[in-house]
């Protein structure tokens, strides 16, 4: 993520959009707040604004939050200083939660992706790791930027993203069942540029 995109995602306008539009929409898609005592993981936590939404709006009791950028993790740590007992922050790779958090299969009740997976070159590995870390019945909440948006001249000029294997909304949704994630609701906005949705981890022992 380059300097321009960091400024954009940390701007008051972006935070207002997330707080007043995206989070309420994602809460509806996820079926409401998480059950009491839920533990969540957030990939690409940035400065911690989304992490606070997971705690306050989705009502997770604990959140493991990861980001590749040490500067962003430091900012998140400052933002979430009042939640020290409920948040564990780390610098690391979202495709290997075991190395970072020691996350075993079925560790989390929920996983959150606030527009991060499109930055990961092997995005399928990120989806697979999220699915691995979720308990059966756990929810994956996602807000993503699609190949349609990334192909726009404005995106190409201002931001830096992987050039290969970008996903459309249809391709992203099709990947989820391959990892035992059943989509419970999803929609796109701005002509397919952005995808919001939720999926549930299926129990392989149930028919």
Whether pTM > 0.85 for this model: the answer is: yes
User: Please, what is the average pLDDT of the chain?
Assistant: 92
For 3-17, 37-51, 89-103, 188-202, which range has the lowest pLDDT when averaged over its residues?
Answer: 3-17
In a domain, 71, yes or no: yes
Closest listed residue to residue 146, CA positions, set 123, 128, 180, 129: 123
CA–CA dist 182, 102 (Å, integer): 25
CA–CA dist 201, 199 (Å, integer): 7
User: What domain range is 155 assigned to?
Assistant: 3-201
How many domains is the chain built from? 1
Q: In the structure encoding, which two tokens stand for residue 72, read together?
A: 């962003």
CA–CA dist 112, 139 (Å, integer): 9
CATH of the domain at 83: 3.40.50.150
pLDDT tens, residue by residue, 113-122: 999 999 999 9
Asked if residues 18 and 49 have their Cβ atoms less than 8 Å apart, the reply is yes
In a domain, 207, yes or no: no
- The structure tokens 């989705």 sit at 58
pLDDT tens, residue by residue, 57-90: 999 999 999 999 999 999 999 999 999 899 999 9
Q: H helices within the chain, ranges in order?
A: 3-9, 12-17, 23-30, 49-56, 70-79, 97-101, 123-133, 147-150, 153-158, 169-175
DSSP string spanning 133-148? HEEEEEEEEEEEE-HH
For 36-45, 148-157, 172-181, 183-192, which range has the lowest pLDDT when averaged over its residues?
Answer: 148-157
């Amino acid at each position: 993520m380059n300097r321009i995109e960091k400024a954009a995602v940390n701007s008051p306008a972006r935070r207002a959009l997330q707080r007043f539009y995206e989070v309420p929409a994602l809460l509806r898609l996820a079926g409401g707040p998480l059950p009491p005592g839920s533990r969540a993981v957030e990939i690409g936590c940035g400065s911690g604004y989304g992490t606070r939404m997971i705690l306050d709006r989705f009502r997770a009791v604990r959140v493991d939050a990861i980001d590749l950028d040490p500067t962003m993790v430091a900012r998140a740590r400052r933002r979430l200083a009042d939640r020290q007992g409920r948040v564990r922050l780390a610098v690391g790779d979202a495709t290997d939660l075991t190395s970072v958090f020691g996350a075993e299969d079925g560790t989390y009740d929920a996983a959150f992706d606030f527009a991060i997976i499109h930055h990961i070159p092997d995005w399928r590995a990120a989806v697979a790791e999220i699915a691995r870390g979720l308990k059966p019945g756990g929810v994956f909440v996602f807000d993503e930027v699609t190949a349609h948006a990334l192909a726009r001249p404005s995106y190409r000029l201002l931001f830096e993203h992987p050039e290969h294997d970008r996903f459309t909304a249809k391709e992203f949704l099709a990947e989820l069942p391959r990892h035992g994630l059943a989509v419970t609701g999803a929609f796109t906005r701005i002509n397919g540029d952005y995808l919001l949705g939720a999926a549930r981890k299926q129990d392989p022992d149930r028919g």
